Amino acid sequence: MSLFRRKPLHERLAEEGGLVEPTAAPLFTGVIPETGIHGIPRERQYDAVVTVEAPDVEGASALFVALEDGSLLVEEGEGDLTALADAIEQEMARPYRATGIHRGGARWAVAAHGLRVLELPEPGGDEIELAVRGDEKTLVVDGNRSFGTIPELDALAEGDAVIRASRLDGALWEVRIDPL
C-alpha cells in the first residue's frame, strides 16, 4: 500500500474529461502583506459628497460633467441639474464628474471627483490609450492599435505611464494618467 492516497479512477477521469472542475485551494505563501490581515484599502472613489434639496431635478439618478467654462455635459438625468452642480461646487472646483442619487422628496445625494480635461485633435475614435515605457510608445484608439502618437498626451507622461482618454464632447477629452 502506498503512503499517498490516489484519487479514485472515476474522479480522475471526470476531471480530465472536463465534467468536474478540479478543486483549487487558494495558495498561502506564508507572507502577510504590509497592511496585515485586513487587506489593502480601496482607492478613494470621490473627492466630495454632499446632500442638497433640488426640486427641479427629475428621475432617480443623474450623471454629469462640469467643465471649467461653467457648462454641464449631462450624460444621465432629467430637468435642471444646476442645483446639484452648485451644491458640489461648495466643496470642489471645476472640472469634475458628478453622480447624483435621488433620496426621496426633493433631497439628492451628490458625489464628485476631479477630472483632467484636455482639448485634443481628432484621433478617429472615442477611447484612446497611450502606453509609454522608455522609448517605446503604443497607441490604441477604440481598441485598435494605431501608428504614431498624440503629442498632447505624450507630453503628460512623466516617465513610464499609461494615459487613457475618453471623449466628453467634440474635441474635449477626459484624461487619466496611471504611472507604471
Positive/negative CA dihedral, 75, 77, 80, 86: negative
Q: Which of 110, 99, 39 is nearest to 74 (CA)?
A: 99
CB-based burial, 72-81: b 16+ in 10 Å, e otherwise:
beeeebeeeb
Q: What is the pTM of this model?
A: 0.69
pLDDT 10s digit of each residue in the chain, 180 long? Answer: 556 678 888 888 888 887 876 566 655 555 555 555 566 666 778 899 999 998 888 889 999 999 999 899 999 988 889 999 999 999 999 999 999 999 988 899 999 999 999 998 888 889 999 999 988 889 999 988 988 888 888 888 888 999 999 999 888 999 998 888
**Which grid cell is 117?**
480635461
Half-sphere exposure (CA, 13 Å, Cβ side) for 26?
A: 2
Half-sphere exposure (CA, 13 Å, Cβ side) for 64?
A: 25
